Amino acid sequence: MRSPAHRCRDIERQAGYLQPDQCVPPPPRGTADGMWFIQDGCGIVCGVITWLLVFYAEFVVLFVMLVPSKSLVYSIINGVLFNALAFLALASHFRAMLTDPGAVPKGNATKEFIESLQLKPGQVVYKCPKCCSIKPDRAHHCSVCKRCIRKMDHHCPWVNNCVGEENQKYFVLFTNG
């Protein structure tokens, strides 16, 4: 494993490391600031399949198992419990799919921004070469989302999103639901 001193030297050797003309400024935020959606065909298909599987399980439990049951009380209690758990699973899936996982702003690795950070002497700042953003600790670049994600765990096609700092709670609730 390389020491931080090696990293610092590698950064210093790269000509034009933090040149503003290499970075595209971040796009202006839209009106739907809280909405996050990845337009990946495979991920969208996997998300739809997830919802269809939950609805199929609803159909099987209600119409194949509970309706033919001889005990009305048993059917009502189990039907209510299963519907509540299915609703919570779908709500968690929806939130995991549409919540920003903790994306680092694109194109913020400009000289002006670096100077505004007021770094201490010897402090190293890492830049993602793919999205031209300053990478905080434990941030990784996702090739599907084309962004750096803080505390990224993985990109999950079933929720069509990365699992990161901001949506990990919803992902865990969905997988345990």
Residue 171: predicted pLDDT: 95
Residues 92 and 112 in one domain: no
User: 123 forms bridges with which residues in the sheet?
Assistant: none
**Positive or negative: CA dihedral 17, 21, 27, 28:** positive
Instruction: Specify the 3-state DSSP secondary structure of 147.
Output: strand
Domain assignment present for residue 32? The answer is: no
Percentage above 70 pLDDT, the chain? 80
* pLDDT class of 34 with cuts at 50, 70, 90: low
Which pLDDT score, from 0 to 100, does residue 33 have? Answer: 53
Is 135 found in the same domain as 51?
Answer: no
Averaged confidence pLDDT in the chain: 81
| pLDDT at residue 6 greater than cutoff 50 | no
**Residue 95 shares a structural domain with residue 167:** yes
For tokens 């709670």, the residue is 169
Tokens of 86: 């299915």
What share of the chain has pLDDT > 90, as a percent? 45
Domain count, the chain: 2
Supply the residues annotated as catalytic. 156
Q: In angstroms, rounded to a whole number, what is the distance separating the alpha carbons of residues 175 and 82? A: 16
Per the DSSP assignment, residues forming a β-bridge with 43 are none
Amino acid 28: pLDDT: 45
Question: Does some domain include residue 2?
Answer: no
Give a yes or no: residue 93 inside a domain.
yes
Shared domain for 86 and 119, answered yes or no, is: no
Average pLDDT for residues 100-110, to the nearest whole number?
84
Does residue 8 sit within a domain? Answer: no
- Mark whether 59 and 145 lie in a shared domain: no
* 176 found inside a domain: yes
Judge whether 55 lies within some domain: yes
